[in-house]
Amino acid sequence: QKVTRPEGSQAKKSQHAEEAVFYMNCRAAYLTVFKSSLENIKSKEQLSLVLQQAGRNPSQKTVNKYWTSQTTTLNFDDFCTILKKEKPATKTELLKAFGKIDADNTGYISHDELYKILTMRGEKMTENEVSAITKEVDFNCSGKLDYNKFCDLYMATSEQCCKTAREKLEVDSRLRQQQFGSQAETSSEGITLPVAKPSPRISKKTDHKLAPTKGESRTPSRPSSAQSCKASTATTISMGASGNRNTKLIEPDTMKEWQCAQSKGCFYLEEDGEIISHKYKLHVPQRSTVCITIKPLNIRQAEGKSCHWLSVDTALYILKENETQENLQLVSFTEQQNKEMFGWKGELGSGVYWLLPFTTGCRLKKVKPRITGEAKLLYRGEDGELVLTKEFRAVLLDIFETIDLDGNGLLSLEEYNFFELRTSGEKCDEEAWAVCKENFDMKKNELTRQGFMDLNLMEANDREGDPSDLWVTLLSLGYNKALEMTEACPFVIDIYAEKCKPRIKAIYLEAGSWQLNRAICKSVVNKGEAKVMDGCENIIIYTYKAGRRITSVIENKSENKVIIHVNNEQSKNCLSNRGLTVFAVEVAPKSMVVSQHVMPLNEQEEWLYNCVHSLL
């Protein structure tokens, strides 16, 4: 231990130094465009400009990914998050892209060919934009583009943007002393109804309601090292082994005559660590006692394969539409636990409710792949025809089971489109579905399991046995190269009603929105223990414990933005969704944010939650 401690300390110092450099570069770029880091980005054009100042060259597709139809503003914290996700292009990547066009590897691309590609493929450029490139003497000669020189100039220009921004920051001491952060706006108590915006693998859509409203969670965007703590408060909770609680959530004898509705769904882990899932509408025809449960879906898994998703925590937040359908009001959430199932039982009036699934991210998170090699998906039979391997067929059956949301053994067009949006980013229209009906096995206009198998085999045949597209599908659905589902968690929702027939329907597949974050905050404030921070009465830490989860929320009642340092170093056998033992959270004026979710690392052992929140 004496030997390893200095190394660990050195690693931490190195990490802090890297974080400090990253945020200095972020701030330098931001202050090149804006007078203060408290100003918000108010248009796509401003977003594109400030990204360019940070050495990025965002395409319109990239800008649209972060500036959706719902976005009104982006703040400095959001800008930092975007820069973490959008890495600058390397020269190797640029040369590789050009190399795909330059099949003969000459180092040159003719202007005619370049014009065709840039004006007809992908994100199309105008004739004037292409001319501006081909007229540059630094990397053009004899009607050809020297793309090696082009890449050199591109990289130099990108670095110069960053360098100029840093120099400006160093020169202007007033800018150097400005605070990080964003201005906040107060919000109404209602929760805005989500609009349709699928979040496919290839065009993830993040819900950016950016002046953080009361109850909205924010990702920390500061170096974790604390400099000066003005006030602090500590919370210690000792939890026994196996936090599962058996409750009388479902009473078979009394609920035999109750009517039931069911739907499946799935949490999917994105490349950047964000979690998306299905969102549902629940129709309750008349006032009734209702029991709502959610648990991981126990689908068949091949012998020897891990069932990682069965340990993932799940929850449902129940929100009520009001008469104008403009706001959602938190009703309750599934806090009663029976083994891996979480549920809520109570009375609901007639009307429409939203069910928002939630997982903390403690168990469903990115892990470094240990797989070497790749499972075989296809082979050619004796007749030379392509055949799906036994292992791949088994996985396709599991996928079918997961995406068959209503569990009727068939895929409707709506169910199939959730699958398509996730794997390709596109939807299948009625005309294309009619073509499927002509070529693949269907019943009552719904795709059968065999039809789904044949559809995937056709895709393999279209690629002449190249499994690349099949792997894109598998990876986007959470499978690794060994055909294990490690980055997804299918779940099943059951609704029992005593006096009426409930109806549930999946509406969207999207990231956890600010509506969900606010609902989480409100539930913790309503159910948790409140502690006023010693030495600062305007900062309150709420801590809620239930079963195997502890959630903390920070409320800032002051008129000023605050930065809270969070330290979990004294916790034992704990797993935080933040992935760090020490970090910082920024809390806007008059707002609340989720500090962290914590679960036991090993449920068979006792765990100690010891967290200190300090005001910087």
Spatial CA neighbour of 489 closest among 316, 269, 340: 269
The residue assigned the tokens 């009361």 is: 214
Quick one: tokens of 148? Answer: 């090696």
Predicted local distance difference test score (pLDDT) of residue 229: 54
Predicted local distance difference test score (pLDDT) of residue 134: 83
All domains of the chain in start order, with CATH? 26-85 (1.10.238), 92-154 (1.10.238.10), 232-244+524-615 (2.60.40), 252-366+488-512 (2.60.120.380), 386-485 (1.10.238.10)
Predicted local distance difference test score (pLDDT) of residue 324: 55
Radius of gyration of the chain (CA): 27
CA distance 607 to 396: 39
Percent of residues in the chain assigned helix, strand, coil, to nearest 5: 30, 30, 40
Total residue count of the chain as it appears in this document: 616
Predicted local distance difference test score (pLDDT) of residue 579: 85
Predicted local distance difference test score (pLDDT) of residue 12: 58
Residues of the chain with pLDDT under 50: 1-6, 173-228, 243-244, 252
**232-280: pLDDT as tens digits:** 888 888 888 764 455 555 554 567 789 999 999 999 998 878 899 999 9
Q: Where are the extended beta strands (E) located within 452-588?
A: 488-497, 503-511, 529-533, 536-546, 549-556, 562-567, 574-576, 582-587
CA distances from 106 to 29, 101, 145, 223, 227 (A): 37, 10, 11, 46, 55
User: pTM higher than 0.85 for the full model?
Assistant: no
Residue 490 β-bridge partners: 266
Cα 608–Cα 614–Cα 616 angle in degrees, nearest 5: 150
DSSP strand pairing (315-321 vs 288-296): unpaired
Amino acid at 38: L
CA distance 344 to 414: 28
CA 105 to chain centre: 39
Predicted local distance difference test score (pLDDT) of residue 186: 33
Spatial CA neighbour of 174 closest among 19, 35, 29: 35
**198-215: pLDDT as tens digits:** 433 333 333 333 333 333
Predicted local distance difference test score (pLDDT) of residue 395: 93
| Helix locations, 528-589, DSSP H | none
Tell me the longest C-alpha to C-alpha distance in the chain: 86
Predicted local distance difference test score (pLDDT) of residue 301: 55
Quick one: tokens of 428? Answer: 């299948």
Q: Which element (helix H / strand E) includes 604?
A: none
- Kindly tell me the sign of the dihedral angle through the C-alpha atoms of 424, 425, 427, 432: negative
User: Edge-to-edge, what's the strand order for the sheet holding 140-141?
Assistant: 108-110, 144-146, 140-141
φ, ψ of residue 542 to 5 degrees: the values are -105, 135
Q: Which element (helix H / strand E) includes 233?
A: strand 231-239
Name 389's Cβ contacts closer than 8 Å, sequence gap at least 6: 375, 376, 377, 378, 379
